[in-house]
Amino acid sequence: MLRVAVAVAAMLMPTMAFASWMPNCSLSADRSTLQVIASNPSDKAYYCQAWCRMKITGERAIQKFDCTFNLGKNAASRVMCKQDGGTAGHFSEVLPTKSTCVPR
């Protein structure tokens, strides 16, 4: 049992390091814009997709926003895609990001 736990932990370690720079959906300070922010500290370029889910103020339904982009080598953190809501407070919440990146 201990061997299985150690093996699983060893397999997850590279994923956790990779996940620390994966695309992330977030809201601007005034909650008027949804942004997909990403960086790439590696020497490989990636093709990425991010699936954002958010709530709009005053609405119960969850809205979706998809973003596809190329992420160059050693890229600094920046906004890759955005959806403008138009007014401050338009978005009330962003749910956890789902994303994937594959080497190009």
Q: Is the model's pLDDT at 19 over the cut of 70?
A: no
User: For tokens 């890229």, what's the residue?
Assistant: 75
Q: Is the model's pLDDT at 7 over the cut of 90?
A: no
Whole-model pTM: value is 0.77
Total domain count, the chain: 1
Distance between CA atoms of 79 and 62, rounded to whole angstroms?
22
Q: Is the model's pLDDT at 57 over the cut of 70?
A: yes
Q: Is the model's pLDDT at 49 over the cut of 50?
A: yes
Domain residue limits at 16? 2-103
**Which amino acid belongs to residue 62?**
I
pLDDT digits (tens, 9 = 90+) for 20-42: 678 999 999 999 999 999 999 99
Per the DSSP assignment, residues forming a β-bridge with 10 are: none
CATH number at residue 63: 2.60.40
